[in-house]
Structure 1
Amino acid sequence: MRARFKRLLFLVHRWLGVILCAFFAMWFVSGVVMMYVGYPKLTDAERLRHLPPLAAEAPLLSPQQALARAAVDAPLKELRLAAASGGRSAYFATPKAKGSATVAIDAMGGTRLPATDRARALASAAAFAAPGAGLRYLDVIAEDAFTHSRALDAHRPLHRVEVDDASKTMLYISGRTGEVVRDATRSERLWNYAGAWIHWLYPFRGNIFDSYWSDIVNWLSIAGIAMALSGTVVGIMRWRFVRPYRNGGRTPYQGFMRWHHIGGLLFALTTITWIFSGLMSMNPWRVFDTDAAPLQAQALEGGAPSLAASVAAPSALLAAAGGSVRELRWTRVQGRVVVQAFAAGGKPVLLDGATAQPLQLDPAALRTAAAQLLPGSVPRFAMQSVYDLYYYNRDAHTMTGGSAKPLPVLRVEFDDPQASWVYLDPYTGAVVGRSDRGKRSSRWLFAMLHSWDWLPLLERRPLWDMLLIFLSIGGAVMSITGIVIGWRRLGKKLRGSGVPRTIRLP
């Protein structure tokens, strides 16, 4: 029985290794690339830096006027004003109804902007790029290697424009609103083929395998865990801890087999950890879902009038904000319409949407409203002034980086079945994060184990870099030796079966 089990372990590890060692080597190498070059994205901070300033002297309509002329009367989830569509000022209104598309409205005439054409795509690219940069219109696409993100679905099809700058930046322009929604330099694009694109198995996206992509990733990860676990058991069984083999070593193998045996024992734990945490990144079979109740946004809004009721003229708002304002954003907080005026960087200026006067939110009222965001009592409020294990910031290029994580932040802890936490920016009153039992489990089993984004380690770079690169090199060596061993074993099997390895043409 023991001999049969031992043989089964050998066979499982051997033949899974023939198939999977190439994937393992690819994952280790591409993981190192992703430490420094992430999948292309356009962060909000980057987008604001590239937007042209809004002209205070321009005859811009108020939101009430623009929405009335464009016949947009549905409750709005978001309303923005920016010179982001063809380089001219436009309102971008997103209805609350699920699946509703954003409507772009000319801020001076009040007419709905049509679907983006080549001319408007080029104009948007010109406004985004450096002054005088040459532009080359390429085509219209539904999706390509750098636009697999589901966040872009509302903007498809996408126009592609290449900027003739030193970076050969590729801009992707929304086919619906005319906004630049993604940028990717030539360096990012090239490195991504050796990084995120191959690491996330994106060759299976955007083609006949697209609907099976999640299953492919999940089952390859499960098979990888089985291969690594079986190899670890075999490696321990074949290692002589007390009495060495006749060759004087602790391992019976020579050459590549020796390197693979030793490397496997040294790096087995980190390999299993990374493959398992990669599987957890997919939230397989919804294991982290908790059926948490949706946030009751009206608790923060306080019964405020609709965004369409904002009558303050943009010229007055821009004058009150001062500086070079790139975007005005209307929200509802504490029973009033609040306008956030964004410059190229830093915090937005808060203005009253009716009077254009500067305002400051009431902290006590914000806590009272926050306690009603979810059912259940609130045993604890915490004003957090530093990042911690669950609320932290990563570099913009990383998978979990790029979104705003302001400090200080108010953490509201609910006594509900999901043990929910809600993070509020006390300055703007916006929800900037939400966590529950499932997400905190995902934090440990995915982000912590996969990226090692533990603050004491991240704050001591390049220690984090050196550690992850060393472990990745060790894993890659183990995988490459496995490829050589597997190839040789496959060759022997083919020769033994009489199947020719090459075909000679007459």
Structure 2
Amino acid sequence: MMSTLKRLLYQLHRWTGVAACVLMLLWFISGMVMLFVGYPKLTPWERLAALPPLPLAGCCQPLAQVAMPVDAREIVLTTVAGRPGWKVRDGGARWRLVDAVTGKLLQPASRDTALASARAFVPGAGAHYLGLLQEDRWTHSRSLDAHRPLHQVQLMDAAQTMLYLSSATGEVVLDAPRDQRLWNFVGAWLHWVYPLRNHSTDPVWNWIIIISSAVATLTALTGTVAGIWRWRFAGRYKSGARTPYRESWMRWHHVTGLLFAGFVFAWIFSGLISMNPFHIFDPQGRRPDLAAWQGGTPAARQLDLAPQLALSLLAAQGFRAVELEWRVLNKQPYLLARDGAARTRLIMRQDGQLVVREQWTQAQLLHAASKLLPGIKASSAWLGSYDSYYYGREPEAMMGAVERRLPVLQLRFDDPQANWVYLDPYTGTVALGVDRRQRVSRWLFSFLHSWDLPPLLRSGPWRESVLILLSLGGLALSATGMVIGWRRLRGKWRAVTSGVSRYN
């Protein structure tokens, strides 16, 4: 029985490894590139740094006089193509642009608007309009769906930046410098097998990755077991070695496999988990009620404050806003202001007076948080440093465009799903919400795949150096496996063709 089991395991490793080693080789190469060059994205810091301060005079109509959809969920005063405008997102998640000077709804962004916006993004750079597209290799992100189709503009700057702009508003939604695009051909674009992806939502691509990752995981697991079985921990083979393999490629494959088996298996398995097969890590049961947390929409509850007065109040404190966003927290309307360095300020009414503040108080946040999961007890704590779930990443990382400010208020609810939420006092938003399943996924994917615990992230080049060393071990294991697989296939082919020749 044991001999049959061993033979089956050897055969599984041998034949799944023929194809899996090729994929694993590409994944290790591209994974090392991704440590330093990420998939193109426009971070909040890049976007805000490119915006001019909103003018203190002669700028904007009062919000009450603006052609605003009755179901507006997001209302932002910003600058598009060098001109102040209201960005409005309705209940159907569609973006619209309203002229801030006239208060009139504008048509979808034209070619000229896209070019003007591109030139404003990098002043002084020439711009060449390439056309309108639905999606290409750099724009698979679902966050861009509300802006499609996208205008594509090539800048003539030193970085040869490719810009993608919203057809709804005309704003820049993604930038991709030439060097980043070139590195991505052997980085994220290759790592995520994007040559096979056609749309932002592509179930065929999704299942190709799941099945490929599952096969590679099986290869790594069976190889680890087979390698341990064949290694002589006590005693030696007749050759005097602890490995039975005399041929150099087989011997090196066996040795490197034992040295790096744990890392390779964990890394490939975590890649499989990242695809959330069969939605096993989707949140279950009751979820925090974000609508109740807000207590209304900006269209229904607005802070009665003219934009010019808001900008003057901020300027008096030395804060030059590039964006103003109308928001609601626990039925209280307020303004969230951002400057070019992504700093924030809040404007709200307190005791009948307009005040500018940096943060919501803990009492205000806790009162609003009681609406998230009514009737459920929760413990709270201020976090002055990142924990294992709420933490920032470098811009090149997959989540590198997510803002993670400190301090943050953490709530742990005593519900069956063990929901945790993190409340950002600077913006009045739920910065992160995770239940028990999502926290398990965080360990099985993020930690195993990229070693992203805050202490490790703070270690700087040490983390990258160790990951590169381990990836080189995985690369050597995959490369030796490829050579062995090629030799085996070539031998099988020769046997078949020689048999056919003799028959003929």
Q: Give the TM bin, normalised by the shorter chain.
A: over 0.9
SS where residue 249 of structure 1 aligns?
Answer: coil
The one-letter amino acid paired with 1:329 is E
Structure 2: give runs of 5+ residues left out of the alignment: none
Cross-structure match for 2:237: 245
CA deviations 1:294-353 (Å, max 9, x no partner) are: 433354435687456444221111111114321111111244321112111153121138
Answer yes or no: is 1:51 the counterpart of 2:54. Answer: no
Gaps of 5+ in 1: 502-506
Preserved CA contact (<8 Å) 1:105 1:112: yes
Is residue 330 of structure 2 the alignment partner of residue 358 of structure 1?
A: no
Structure 2 counterpart of 1:469, which letter?
I
**Kept after mapping to 1: 8 A contact 2:75/2:298:** no
> Quick one: distance in 2 between partners of 1:312 and 1:412?
32
Would the aligned equivalents of 2:68 and 2:299 in 1 still touch at CA under 8 Å?
no
Q: Does 1:73 align with 2:70?
A: yes
Q: Which amino acid aligns with 1:31?
A: G
Aligned to 1:416: 415
Corresponding residue of 1:89: 84
- Say if 1:239 and 1:301 are closer, same or farther in 2 by CA, change over 3 A: closer
TM-score of the two chains, using structure 1 as the length reference: 0.92
**Cα distance, 1:261–1:54 mapped onto 2, change above 3 Å:** same
The superposition leaves residues 278-305 of structure 1 with CA deviations (integer Å, 9 ceiling, x where unpaired) of: 1111111111123243433354435687
Is contact 2:267–2:448 with CA below 8 Å preserved after alignment? yes
SS of 2:397 mapped into structure 1:
coil
- TM-score, with length taken from structure 2: 0.93
* Paired amino acid for 2:449: H
After superposition, the Cα gap between the structure-2 partners of 1:309 and 1:388, relative to the gap in structure 1 and judged at 3 Å, is closer
Distance between the aligned counterparts of 1:5 and 1:435, measured in 2?
41
Contact 1:375 1:416 survives alignment (8 Å): no
Label 1:63 to 1:355 Cα distance change in 2 as closer, same or farther (>3 A).
Answer: farther
Q: How far apart are the structure 2 equivalents of 1:120 and 1:214? A: 36
TM-aligned CA deviation for residue 480 of structure 1: 0.5
Match of 1:20 in 2: 20
- Asked whether the 8 Å contact 1:61–1:107 carries over to 2, the reply is yes
Structure 1 residue 32, shift from structure 2 partner: 0.8
**Deviation at residue 125 of structure 1 after TM alignment:** 0.4
Select which of 217, 242, 247 maps to 1:225.
Answer: 217
CA distance in 1, matches of 2:118, 2:301: 29
Aligned residue for 2:414, secondary structure, equals coil
| Partners of 1:115 and 1:381 in 2: CA distance | 45
- 1:301 & 1:388 partners in 2: Cα distance? 26
What is aligned with 1:111? 104
Contact 2:326 2:333 in 1 (8 A): yes
Which stretch shows the higher mean deviation, 316-325 or 488-497?
316-325
| 1:135-174 deviation digits (Å, cap 9, x = unpaired) | 1111211111111001111111111111111111111001
2:115 to 118, 122, 140: 122
Q: Distance in 1 between matches of 2:329 and 2:210?
A: 42
Kindly indicate whether the alpha-carbon contact (under 8 Å) linking 1:414 and 1:421 is maintained by their aligned counterparts in 2.
yes
- 3-state SS of paired residue (1:447): helix
Q: SS at 1:498's partner residue?
A: helix
Task: Find the partner of 1:330 among 305, 326, 330.
Answer: 326
1:174-195 CA distances to partner (integer Å, 9 max, x unpaired)?
1111110000111111111111
Q: Is the CA contact 1:54–1:325 (under 8 Å) kept in the aligned structure 2?
A: yes
Rounded Cα–Cα distance in structure 1 between residues aligned with 2:353 and 2:88 = 21
2:494 counterpart residue number:
495
Q: What one-letter code is carried by the residue in structure 2 that aligns with 1:52?
A: P
Instruction: For residue 219 of structure 1, report the CA deviation from its aligned partner.
Output: 0.8
- In 1, the alpha carbon distance for the partners of 2:59 and 2:498 equals 79
Q: 1:376 to 1:196 in 2, by over 3 A?
A: farther
Kindly tell me: are residues 326 and 303 of structure 1, through their superposed partners in 2, closer, same or farther at Cα, counting changes over 3 Å?
Answer: closer
User: Partner letter of residue 8 of structure 2?
Assistant: L
Aligned residue for 1:504? none
Matched residue, 1:452: 451
CA distance in 1, matches of 2:11, 2:240: 27
- Any residues of structure 2 matched to 1:199-238 within 5 Å, and which? 199-206=191-198, 210-238=202-230
Write the mapping of 1:131-210 to structure 2, written as runs, cut at 5 A. Answer: 131-206=123-198, 210=202
- Secondary structure of 2:356's partner? coil
Distance in 2 (CA, whole Å) between partners of 1:350 and 1:290 is 32
Give the aligned partner of residue 264 of structure 1. Answer: 257
Please name the residue that 1:395 is paired with.
394
Following TM superposition, by how much is the alpha carbon of 1:47 offset from its aligned partner in structure 2, in angstroms? 0.6
SS at match of 1:326: strand
2:164 aligned counterpart, secondary structure = strand
**Matched letter for residue 322 of structure 2:** R
